[in-house]
Amino acid sequence: MASEIRTALNIPGPLGPRRRRWRRRSPVLAAAVLAAVLPFAGLGFLQFWPGYAPVPPVTRLVIGDHLCSDAPLFDGAGRLLISLETVEAHLDPSVTWDPEVRRATVSTAGKTIRMATDSLTEFVNRVPVDLNVPVTLDPQGRPYVPGDFFLELLGLVQRHVVESNTVIIDRVGELVPTGVVGSSPVYVREAPSLFSLRLSRLEPGDKVRLSGEEGGWYRVRDASGWIGYVPKKSLTPGEPFAVAPADPGPPSPPLTGPVFLVWEHVHSRNPDPGLIGPMPGLNVVSPTWFHVVDNEGTVQNLADTAYVAWARQRGYQVWGLVTNGFNRDRTRAVLTDPAKREKIVRQLLIYSSLYRLDGLNMDFENMYLAQKADYVRLMRELSPLAREQGLVLSVDVTFYSSSEAWSLCYDRRALAEAVDYVMAMGYDQHTAGSPVSGPVGAIPWVEAGIQRILSEVPASKLVLGVPFYTRLWAEQSGQRPTVKTLWMQDVLDIIAEKGLTPTWDAATGHNYISYVEDGVRYRVWIEDEASMALRVELVRKYSLAGVAAWRRGFELPYIWEVIERGLSAMAGGEP
């Protein structure tokens, strides 16, 4: 009998392994031999055979007790992306995909959005709304959505187990039946058979999640997310446990001293926060995340929890920026309808809760004069609810001009009464369509604008908007100048390339360059340390609430310190 066992298991005997004869035997014969020897040899050796299943090269996604067929993806910031098909099948069947506009939406019907107060929770859940979900297309054009959006919306929690290359998603509060490994180690098998591949080894006292039975086996999920089978006799029933919520992360930093905000321009994708350098003195970031996109008041959502988490780690508050798409007809359609205004408010409050925002920055521009009072109504309706949610509410306005659509459409006094801060955009004195060349905001023009707006807005609420950009003007005789927007580094490149030396233009408060090529006169009023220091000095002179800069990415690194020094001196620190 011993020789038969050695032969069946290919164990060398006194004469060595009989490999050739073994190869000629049929699988049926091998099985028969094993069946014959098992009663004598026992089952102990089977726990080491066959080997382990290989760790898959792609990340596995386990939702509850189900191993999903679609592998998740990760974006540049490490954020989990889940295929829309998986979301619809295993998380939320209400999600829909419109390929024409490349928009995914999910209804709040049947869901409870938790807000800061019970009354606010009742308000946002009273009428179902459709929420927009940011979408990423894979190389095959299949839509993927951020997993963290649904974690917040549906009350889920996720963790990534590196050793098994598995993302596990569970529902918070779910009672999970468990089993406890007895006195001997046991293996989780791929199938309910001792001949099945091993997935993981469980030690005495280890707990597993029970999800069913098959014959003499339990179907289990171990701590690493492997889903397989364990003999019933190896487990004893354990106490059910409730899935705990995830750590919400660091709390919002307090806003102390003057506001120092920078707008983050998000067109379709959020920036990789890991590539953003130091920004000394900054205390608020305002990404352009929310946009009214149709006549029904649908708010497009581009928000990103990874960006919010990065901002928290840096000590920044996050005020999501909201636009009307700068579309007059669309703005009229939504602002004149109380139900559509309420729909906008409800969406903004829900997004603020889901992404744990600290504030909202309302940036409605290019409006009909007839919507002047309607816009105030929207802000008055949003304001008390935003405060109840703990949100800072701010509104962007231009300096005074004769333009109905870009200036006269704002009731600055009424808006200031409704909000916490008014951001005065102290730039675009000379726009891209200007008939004459000039700086984006001459310092005397900025000061005059501040003085005028202070007649309606308290200094304690007024934040001065400053530019991180300028324009290159090209003038030809008898023609309207053409223009190109420049970043700060662009100007340095021109100076170096042309061998220019800037001169000081006292009338505008700017360094200035000019040169001629091929009969065309080029002019640049430079935004740099000198012009920025004068702008911040105006903030100090009039005791304004702070500075807001358009936009991150246009600046040179030193500009942060220029603003920080000025605001620090204003707050009583060292100049």
Domain final residue pick, 171, 189, 211: 171
pLDDT (tens digit, 9 = 90+) per residue, 456-505? 999 999 999 999 999 999 999 999 999 999 999 999 999 999 999 999 99
- Please check whether residue 154 lies inside any domain of the structure: yes
Mark whether 1 and 66 lie in a shared domain: no
- Please check whether residue 346 lies inside any domain of the structure: yes
The residue assigned the tokens 């953003």 is 276
> Residues of the chain with pLDDT > 90: what percent?
86
Mark whether 8 and 149 lie in a shared domain: no
Mark whether 133 and 88 lie in a shared domain: yes
Q: Which amino acid is at 194?
A: L
Give the range among 45-49, 369-373, 565-569 with minimum mean pLDDT: 45-49
Q: Tell me: cis bond preceding 23? Omega within 30 of 0 counts.
A: no
Residue 426: CATH number of its domain? 3.20.20.80
Mark whether 108 and 162 lie in a shared domain: yes
Count of domains in the chain? 3
Mark whether 129 and 163 lie in a shared domain: yes
pLDDT band at 30 (very low <50, low <70, confident <90, very high): very low
Nearest to 449 by CA among 413, 424, 431: 424
- Please check whether residue 234 lies inside any domain of the structure: no
Helix (H) or strand (E) holding 241, with range, is strand 235-242
Residues in contact with 63: Cβ distance below 8 Å, sequence separation at least 6, in sequence order: 86, 90, 91, 169
* Predicted confidence (pLDDT) at residue 231 exceeds the cutoff of 90: yes
What's the DSSP call for residue 354? H
Domain final residue pick, 141, 171, 201: 171
- Please check whether residue 71 lies inside any domain of the structure: yes
pLDDT of residue 444: 98
Mark whether 17 and 98 lie in a shared domain: no
Mark whether 266 and 403 lie in a shared domain: yes
pLDDT (tens digit, 9 = 90+) per residue, 116-162? 999 999 999 999 999 999 999 999 999 999 999 999 999 999 999 99
Mark whether 441 and 326 lie in a shared domain: yes
* Predicted confidence (pLDDT) at residue 2 exceeds the cutoff of 70: no
- Please check whether residue 251 lies inside any domain of the structure: no
pLDDT of residue 13: 38
CA 95 to each of CA 46, 87, 104, 133, 352: distance values in angstroms, whole numbers, following the listed order: 47, 7, 7, 9, 20
Mark whether 346 and 432 lie in a shared domain: yes
Mark whether 341 and 416 lie in a shared domain: yes
Q: Output the six-digit token pair for 173.
A: 């509060």
34 or 18: which leads in pLDDT? 34
CA 156 to each of CA 92, 108, 200, 235, 348: distance values in angstroms, whole numbers, following the listed order: 12, 15, 26, 28, 21
Is residue 358 within 8 Å of 352, Cβ to Cβ?
A: no
Residues in contact with 311: Cβ distance below 8 Å, sequence separation at least 6, in sequence order: 273, 285, 317, 318
Nearest to 523 by CA among 483, 479, 478: 483
pLDDT of residue 408: 98
411 or 39: which leads in pLDDT? 411
* Predicted confidence (pLDDT) at residue 434 exceeds the cutoff of 60: yes
pLDDT of residue 49: 63
Residues in contact with 254: Cβ distance below 8 Å, sequence separation at least 6, in sequence order: none
- Could you write out the DSSP letters of every residue in 165-232? TEEEEEETT-EEEEEEE-SS-EEEESSSSTTSPEEEEE-TT-EEEEEEEETTEEEEE-TT--EEEEEG
Domain final residue pick, 126, 156, 171: 171
pLDDT of residue 382: 98
For 171, how many CA atoms within 13 A lie in the half-sphere containing its CB?
Answer: 11
Q: Taking the CA atoms of 160, 116, 377 and 265 in sequence, report the sign of the dihedral they define.
A: negative
Mark whether 411 and 379 lie in a shared domain: yes
pLDDT band at 42 (very low <50, low <70, confident <90, very high): very low
3-state SS, 125-144, equals HHCCCEEEECCEECCCCCEE
Is residue 208 within 8 Å of 221, Cβ to Cβ?
A: yes
* Cα gap 255→193, rounded to integer Å: 61
- What SS3 class is residue 375? helix
* Cα gap 131→464, rounded to integer Å: 33
- Please check whether residue 98 lies inside any domain of the structure: yes
- Please check whether residue 237 lies inside any domain of the structure: no
Cα dihedral 3/5/7/10 (nearest 10): -130
- Could you write out the DSSP letters of every residue in 433-454? T-SS---SS-HHHHHHHHHHHT
- Outline where DSSP puts E strands in 324-420: 359-363, 392-398
What's the DSSP call for residue 8? H
- What SS3 class is residue 239? strand
pLDDT (tens digit, 9 = 90+) per residue, 86-107? 999 999 999 999 999 999 999 9
pLDDT of residue 445: 98
Mark whether 23 and 102 lie in a shared domain: no
Is residue 59 within 8 Å of 72, Cβ to Cβ?
A: yes
pLDDT of residue 221: 98
Cα dihedral 484/490/491/495 (nearest 10): -120
pLDDT (tens digit, 9 = 90+) per residue, 260-273? 999 999 998 999 99
- Residue 104 belongs to what domain range? 60-171
- Please check whether residue 152 lies inside any domain of the structure: yes
Nearest to 456 by CA among 412, 418, 417: 412
Q: Tell me: cis bond preceding 50? Omega within 30 of 0 counts.
A: yes
pLDDT band at 38 (very low <50, low <70, confident <90, very high): very low
Is residue 548 within 8 Å of 263, Cβ to Cβ?
A: yes
